[in-house]
Chains A and B, each alone.
Chain A
Amino acid sequence: MTGRARAMWTEPLAAVLLLLPVASPAQQPSAPHASPTNPAPMHDMPGMSEHAMVMPIPMPAGMPMMPGLVGLAPGVTPFLPGAGLDLARLPAAKASAVVRLKNGDTLDLTATLVRRAIAGHAFAMYGYNGEVPGPLIRVPRNATIVVRFHNRIDLPSAVHWHGVRLDNRSDGAPGVTQEPVAPGADFIYRIHFPDAGIYWYHPHVREDVEQAMGLYGAMLVDSPDSDYYPPANRDAVLMLGDLLVNADSLIPFGREGPDFALMGRVGNVLLVNGEPDYALHVRRGEVVRFQLVNVSSSRTWNVSFGGAPMKLLAGDQSRFEREERVMSVVLAPAERYVVEVRFDRAGRVPLVNAVQAINHYQGEFVPEVDTLGMVTVDAAPVAPDYGRAFSTLGAHPDVSRDIDRYRGYFDRPPDKRLTLALATTALPLATVQFMSIDTAYYAPVEWVDGMPDMNWLSTSKQVRWVLRDDVTGKENMDIDWHVSAGSVVKLRIFNDPTSFHPMQHPIHLHGQRMLVVARDGVPSTNLVWKDTALIPVGATVDLLIDASNPGAWMLHCHIAEHLGSGMMAVLHVDPPAQGSGR
């Protein structure tokens, strides 16, 4: 629905399906009533429903719905926010406004239903203060602000201040730091910003619904150092999201739990700051500092500006040790990167997301390019011209010096180990058959949803994504790690490529900062502080956690449907006075 140049998947080869092996029962370890080789009738399968509303799912061109799945619907009650309301009576969503706050200021943040027009269709969706994205909160580093959150939507909610190393009580993690804020209720957050950079806020209740429907906003924390970033003619915050639409309707969510539990809900309408057609006008030679935030539930992006030169400055929580040239920017859900782009030729420059899809029928990789918007470059030259500064790659010894304290830990054996895996129960036979060959693709990242029918039908009742502690064997919320504040923890995460339907996972740790010190044993050579790290399929990633902020902190996959399917644990950072406990 966006202007997209997509290679068509035009050669259906259903016969290949007959040759597919069937997964061994061990790959669905906890199926209580049926095995993949001896399936129960569909109506006996927990979570499968034949009488729920059937909503045909948009399939990629040339890809038919699997015969074994036709007529099925996810075993959850279909739910769309604001269903039955008169759209005309909802206020139209406004664009994000910048709210500059200083130390001690208070902001009222209200989640409500709004009306949005996307690609010619009007939908009831959510917004903060009537805006999508929500207000852009701009604060100086070291400020503390108060946010009075008012929940006026039809679901419980809570606000998580993503990436901010704040007081645990304000982390917005229901079940860990607070109760969900009921519809009509309020909650007060006190947020301290110790690190400059780009952050974002979003709900931590059913984010598969609430975030996708528009509840997200950015926070820019300004350094007192006016030369923190190289000079740019302008700043632009780009929040990259997507929305799943079929014809003129949104695909409903599951009332009791997420659907699309396997791959996450991957939208087919790509949005920049909530809109499908991003537009920016600049002058020739202009340097634009783009602050990129991935707010989508599941999609990993690979964005670039038509070959225009890009310089990478910063990641989640800090600048890189060294600026470097990049051809594109890869962002997993919740990651942020700051890049400068110089538009040195007049004309139109597309902002594109260019990835490799997989044709699961044919075992082929298929290039897919989505145009997210257009930068129009005027012929008139910009003033001042920062071309010379742009061509220089700066180094940040202060970042390196800060990291120096931790380098002695880089090569130590891991303190903790996690394996990422999947357990499923009673998926449809057709899904099991098809997915059982998935490990043969060896794609470290699934950039698009190549099997939306199977994905849609999978719910959190049938799918449990797993973080497994290699030492204790404990999984997800049973893990319960304790370390004392001030510890440096080396966490090795292995994304098991032999598990059933392996997939990349962006692992997010609340309230602390961490370094990706190695991938597959290859040390990182240009470090940056992060709160979210992409763990590709088959990868072994070593994270070094600076566990300096006391409290109970969630560690979870930021694919909203994976989180909704159990993929979370808690890291307790105990105050030193209390000892390490366990």
Chain B
Amino acid sequence: MRLALAAAVLLAAAPLPAAHSGSTLSDAAGPYDIALFSTPTAPAARGHARLVYAPSPFGVAVTADGRARYDVQITASALPAPSTLGAFSSYVAWEVTPDLSRWTRLGVVAKGTSTVGPAELNKFLLVITAEADSMPAAHAGPTVLHGTSPSGWLQSFLTHPLFRGVAP
């Protein structure tokens, strides 16, 4: 089950972006890849994301309470011009809690590969929306791509945030 899941995600991910000049890491691809899925707003859109360590002087990048901090390399293709979807000028990436209650702006997604972040939640949804400007105070526009952080895959139904508080 786990292997099948991992294989599905790896297959969904397109070739990894070259991250370091003169050094190829593709043979040692890390696990922290996120497949992005399109929505009816932009059905042709394709994308994937990769979590890489945010800059840190230590062996891992973590917050003071121990959550891993990642920059997110987002590669998207076939995104229509935002203006074709309505009164929008930019695509913006968000880190969203699994219960959808909190949205944190990570940065602007442009053509090719954009690095945004850092993402600092243990589990999160990665959502890309069309917005009226590149620095929106809150998300308002339609979702064009979305995915789930790898640590969110393991989730028992009974403890899923969306089910909490619901009587059995």
Question: Which A positions have Cβ atoms within 8 angstroms of B?
Answer: 11, 13, 16, 21, 24, 302, 304, 307, 312, 315, 320, 324, 326-332, 335, 337, 354-356, 362-365, 367-369, 411-414, 436-437, 439-445, 447, 492, 494, 497-498, 504, 506, 516, 518-523, 525-526, 528, 533-540, 542
B101: Cβ under 8 A from any A Cβ: no
27 residue pairs from A and B, CB less than 8 Å apart: A11-B159, A302-B66, A327-B63, A328-B62, A330-B60, A354-B65, A354-B66, A363-B156, A364-B159, A365-B151, A369-B65, A411-B21, A412-B23, A413-B23, A437-B154, A440-B154, A442-B150, A444-B68, A445-B60, A520-B25, A520-B52, A522-B19, A522-B55, A534-B58, A538-B30, A539-B30, A539-B53
- Asked if residues A521 and B64 are in contact (CB atoms below 8 Å), the reply is no
Chain B positions 124 through 168: 1 when the CB is less than 8 Å from some CB of chain A, otherwise 0: 000000000000000000000000011101111011000000000
CB B38 to nearest CB in A, in angstroms, measures 24
Chain B positions 86 through 98: 1 when the CB is less than 8 Å from some CB of chain A, otherwise 0: 0000000000000
> Among A327, A363, A533, which residue has its beta carbon within 8 angstroms of that of B154?
A363
Known: A523-B20, A528-B57. A540 touches B66 (CB 8 A): no
- Asked if residues A326 and B57 are in contact (CB atoms below 8 Å), the reply is yes
- The answer for the CA separation of A332 and B66 in the assembled complex, in Å, is 13
For B11, list chain A residues within 8 Å (CB): none
CB B30 to nearest CB in A, in angstroms, measures 4
For A16, list chain B residues within 8 Å (CB): 156
B6: Cβ under 8 A from any A Cβ: yes
The total of interchain contacts (Cβ-Cβ below 8 angstroms) comes to 145
- CB-nearest residue of chain B to A312: B57
Tally of B interface residues using CB under 8 Å: 43
- The answer for the CA separation of A356 and B65 in the assembled complex, in Å, is 7
> Among A327, A365, A413, which residue has its beta carbon within 8 angstroms of that of B122?
A365
B1-58 residues at the A interface, CB under 8 angstroms:
1-3, 5-6, 18-23, 25, 28, 30-32, 52-53, 55-58
- Asked if residues B153 and A498 are in contact (CB atoms below 8 Å), the reply is no
- The answer for the CA separation of A436 and B6 in the assembled complex, in Å, is 13
Question: Which B positions have Cβ atoms within 8 angstroms of A?
Answer: 1-3, 5-6, 18-23, 25, 28, 30-32, 52-53, 55-60, 62-68, 71, 122-123, 149-151, 153-156, 158-159
For B151, list chain A residues within 8 Å (CB): 365, 441-443
- Asked if residues B58 and A540 are in contact (CB atoms below 8 Å), the reply is no
- The answer for the CA separation of A39 and B158 in the assembled complex, in Å, is 31
For B32, list chain A residues within 8 Å (CB): 442, 538
For A437, list chain B residues within 8 Å (CB): 2, 154
- CB-nearest residue of chain A to B10: A498
- The answer for the CA separation of A14 and B21 in the assembled complex, in Å, is 48
- The answer for the CA separation of A354 and B67 in the assembled complex, in Å, is 9
For B28, list chain A residues within 8 Å (CB): 492, 494, 540
For B2, list chain A residues within 8 Å (CB): 21, 436-437, 439-440
CB A435 to nearest CB in B, in angstroms, measures 11
